[in-house]
Each structure stands twice: as structure tokens, then as C-alpha cells.
Homo-oligomer: A and B are copies of this chain.
């Protein structure tokens, strides 16, 4: 042999990666002496993890993480395993002994009291003392002579004592001495040797040469609770004026805060508030060529008054904005800003940093295009520019500027049209200093692109909810979101409408359609949002047939809304948002389960939180034109309910029902009550509580 012993396999350098301590890996040697040859325990299949540890899993403060792994060794020896975890800023690992399950699977949990990145990994080793202890029982019960086995055990205790310090060392020495003294009395020595306290002591001091660690460690990003549970309200400040003839201001938005807070929202999200470009400005209803009094699109950012760090003069001043943030906080509202990394031709960047834009051969700057369509009012940044490092630094500074004004939540416009690498770097850098930040990715695009953005750091993500309207679509999509692998990193934030999307279900369903879509959003997902007042006033007029654009869209003009409309959904929204705050079941996604209804127009699903919380059953009539009835079948046993009659309370209407057995009758009418939010007083029996996923 000899020759090139490590050439044989591509992964030679990491060949022992999953079972060896870091410092002992990586030899390029002829013999085995540099390998961690005495590490006999194997660690495989650690869960949770995302892409083999390439990305962090996500949790929120106060959550705990259940970690499982396959741990085993050759032969019949016992193994032991510890879960190691720490805040990434700490040097020291904390430890939790893992418990064995079936089929060589082990489990332990750790809690997350702090924001920021945490790390976790697993150590495992062959445990000769535990092996000895179990064999001792068999020998004793077979009546064998124990004198030699006692000596073996003594040596193991001595060795552990030698590795221990302080009180543990003393306790181990005491045990050793006692075993030494009593070994002429095998029965009492046997019982002493079997004491759990001794096993726990010895277990703490394994021979370090035999301990393997899974590495590199896996990561967990711990976000604020609002990353998991949030209710968003979007409005255009320029439409917030009391006086229809006047441009709305940030001060007007301050006046609007009690209205928004009365609906129990958490987040007030504003479209871009920066100066708006004049070149190629779009007119009302997206017409080419604006009239002099047209206000333009807020996403055409930048004019001579400034760019991404300036406030549109007609909206007010930076001081007004800071005041808005402060006053919103008094109402329990975070102000979320829209960050759209694109510029109008009038943006100061265009003159100051032409190197950040693609220059066409004729010397002009490349405007946005989707051939043959041209968007000459927008210049995209060139992320392949040789000057990309300075561009990245500047774009990151936009966030920093607004963080300094008190903003902690950003809704990022079309992040999927900027380089992934930029976002990963930018979000990591920002959250390293401000772990409380929340970034919502507004990427309505292909599934893998959306998932990539969530993996690389976006805290929440817009979804396809707006286009999932039938029972089957909803069941499939929300089962995927709540049950599949993506739940480790993809936190859905679902919107029944946005300024860009007025789905035909809303265009043609009238007020009942808004009720249905609102209740679905607010109860299917822990985070959701609406674009108002268009939503609560059930604005359903489209720009033209087949379009999802609003007629007279606020994207291009100011609108006046009659907030006092008696048919406004305001009260329903307030009631449901209050239920969301009162019931932890609605603040998580992982417990979501759908149930049969025997009617395609009725969708029924439950959510619960932990073992102790109540169980909420939602039943929604998706048919906005006709009353529908059906039979809802529940898994009584899983919910701790018996066949005996049980009470069900409708949290919206206050009505009480007496239900019998698993299958019960429901009737819902779009003209009356189209939805049930029912409380079952059950109790969920599970081997394991849910982790509180994203």
C-alpha cells in the first residue's frame, strides 16, 4: 500500500468530519495515526437543518428547538450523546444530555431566550461505564463472580475522577474508595455501583480522545416574536389627508393611527416615502406621460430633492417621520418601510455614481426592460458592475439610515431582481448589529427563488396565497407551508390584496369575498396583511377586464376613502385581530390541520398551541354567492375529546353549540355568517409538543 493513501476519495479531508473533533481531522498521511481512531461513535442525520447546514433554521425568542440525530457505534457498547448549544457570540457551549428513542435515534431540546444567531451541534462517545453497569446487572443476576468486574468498574471510576475537578472529582474518588472497600461484600457493592448519581458523575468526564463532534455546528437565527406573529396594514400616506384637495402627509398618518390601532394591527407599512422622479413619470392608471398635477409612482424613487435617504417634501420632514414612528409605537404599531432598490432617472445616484448602472453602447443608461416592453422611468442597479462593492455598501447604508430613524421592519420590493449574494451579506451584516430587524421579501416569483431568499436571510416572505382560492388549492398550499421542510426557514406573510394585486375573487365576490379572504388570511397564517383602506372598504374595481390592477390605483394617484362607511369590515377585522392576540393557536403555523367537510365549498381546519391551549376550529364557506352546508369530521381522539357531547363556542358570534361525536353539521351563509371560528375545549395528546416554528 502506501503511495497516495488519501487520494482515493474526493472527500478525504472531511472523511471523518461527522465523527471527529475538529482539531484531529484532515491528515494527508500514509498511516492512520493522525486520524481520530479511538472515536467510535457515529453521528448522522441531524435534524433540523437547512441544506446540510448551509443556512440557519429560524425560530423566535422564547422558542425551543428539538434536535434529533442518529447516534450509534460498532458492536454492543452503550453510547452517550450531548446536545451542545450556545449563542454565537459566546465561547462556551451549554450541554444537554440526549435521550434515546427508537432505532438509534436520539433527542434533546434547547431554549432560546435571546435574539441573534445561535449554534448547535452534537457530541457522542462510547460510554464504557454505562456498558459496564448494564453488564454488571446481567452478571449479578446470573450469579457470576463479580470480583474482576468490580476492578474493571473501579478503573473506569478512577479514570473519570482523574479527568474531573472540584466537587465532582471528590465525589468520584469517594465512590471509588467505597467500592474498593466494600467489594468483599458484593451485594452492597453492587447496589452502590449501580446508583444513578455515580453514572451521572462518570458520564460528565468521558475520555476526550473518544469523543466525536458533529461539525461544523448548525445555526439557528432567533428573531423577535413579531417575525412569527404579525398583522400588517398598508396605506399610502399621500391619501391620508382629511382634506381631499390636499396631498396627505406623515402628520395625517399620525392622525390615522387610532383608526389603525383600533383594528388591532401590529405593523403599519408605508410604500416608499422618498422624492418621486419627474422624468418619464407615469400618469393616472399607469398612463405614459403624466399631467402636471399627477403625483407619480412612489416606486420611481429619487429626484433633485434626494433619493433613498430623503423624504418626499409633500409628505413632510424627517422629524415628522420620527414623530410618526414614536407615536405609532404608543399605539403598539411598528412602522415598516418599503425599500425598493431602483431609481428614477432623476435620482442623485445617477449623476454621482454612473458606474452603478449599465451603460448602453450609445452612452445612455440602461433603463428597465422586459423586451419588447420598456420602463424608461426606472433604472435598475447593475449588480455585475465592477464597482459592486461600493454599491453594496451604499445600499446597506440605506437600511442603516432608516434604522437610525427608529425603523426595525423593512418590506423589500422585488428582492429577487437583485443579487442573492448582496442580500445574504447585507441582512447578515445588519442583523449582526440589530438582531431585532425584520425583512419581508416581496418576491412573487418561482418557488425556488422565493425559498432561496428566505434561506439567505429574509425574515418573512410574501406568498402565493392571493392566487389560492379553492379548497384544494388552499389545503395543498398551506399544508406545504406549515408541514414541509421549508417551515424551518420560510415564514409566510399572506395578503388577500396588495396595491399590485386585486384578484378576480375580490373583483366579482363583493363584500362577502373580502370577508372570506380576510378570515382565511388571518387564521391560516400567523402573519398576514391587508392593503387598506381599499380592503376594509372592499374596493373591487379593476383597471380593465382580466387585469389584477386596481382602477384609479393609488400607485399613480391620491385617493379619498370613506372610513366611516357603515359596511366597512373594520369591526370584523378588529374582532379577528383581537382573537389572534388572545389565542396562541393563531400565532403559530405548525399545528395547522385540515379536516373533511363533505362539501367542496366548505373548508375546515384547526390550530392549537402546545398541549394545554384550546383548539380553534375554523370553517369557511368559500362560495360567496350561496349558503353551503356540510359535515365536519374531527379527529376526536387526537383532540382529547370523547364521543360524549362536547361544547363548541363560536368566538365571532358568541353562540354555543353542543356537538356529538366526530362528525357534526355546519351551515354558513355569505349573506349572514360566512365563517365560524369555534373553540373546542379539548386537549392535544402528542408524544411531543410542536416546536414553535416560523
Contact = CB atoms under 8 A, between A and B. Distances in A.
Nearest to A39: B421
Contacts of A166: none
Contacts of A19: 420-421
A644 interface: no
A35 B429 CA distance: 13
Contact of A419 (B45, B54, B74, B392): B74
Given A15-B424, A389-B37, A361 B148 contact: yes
Nearest to A457: B9
Interface residues of A, number: 101
Interface stretch (A170-178, A265-273, A444-452, A604-612): A444-452
B219 A11 contact: yes
A566 interface: no
Contact of A1 (B10, B55, B119, B400): B400
A654 interface: no
Interface stretch (A284-292, A430-438, A554-562): A430-438
Given A10-B219, A88-B10, A35 B421 contact: yes
Given A40-B384, A76-B370, A389-B37, A88 B7 contact: yes
Contacts of A433: 1, 3
Nearest to A430: B1
Given A40-B420, A148-B360, A74 B8 contact: no
Nearest to A449: B72
Q: How many copies does the complex hold?
A: 2
Contact of A361 (B152, B422, B424): B152
Interface string A3-28: 11111111110111111000000000
Interface of A: 1, 3-12, 14-19, 31-33, 35-40, 42, 44-45, 51-56, 70, 72-76, 88-89, 103-104, 116-117, 119, 126, 135, 138-139, 141-142, 144, 148, 151-152, 154-155, 210, 216-219, 221, 360-362, 369-372, 383-384, 388-389, 392-393, 396, 400, 416-422, 424-425, 428-433, 446-449, 452
Given A17-B54, A31-B392, 19 more contacts: A1-B429, A3-B433, A8-B116, A10-B53, A10-B56, A11-B55, A31-B393, A32-B393, A39-B421, A40-B383, A42-B420, A44-B51, A44-B452, A73-B420, A74-B383, A76-B417, A104-B446, A148-B360, A154-B361
18 contacts: A5-B432, A17-B54, A32-B389, A32-B393, A32-B422, A33-B389, A35-B425, A37-B421, A40-B421, A42-B452, A44-B448, A44-B452, A73-B420, A74-B420, A103-B446, A138-B371, A154-B361, A210-B384
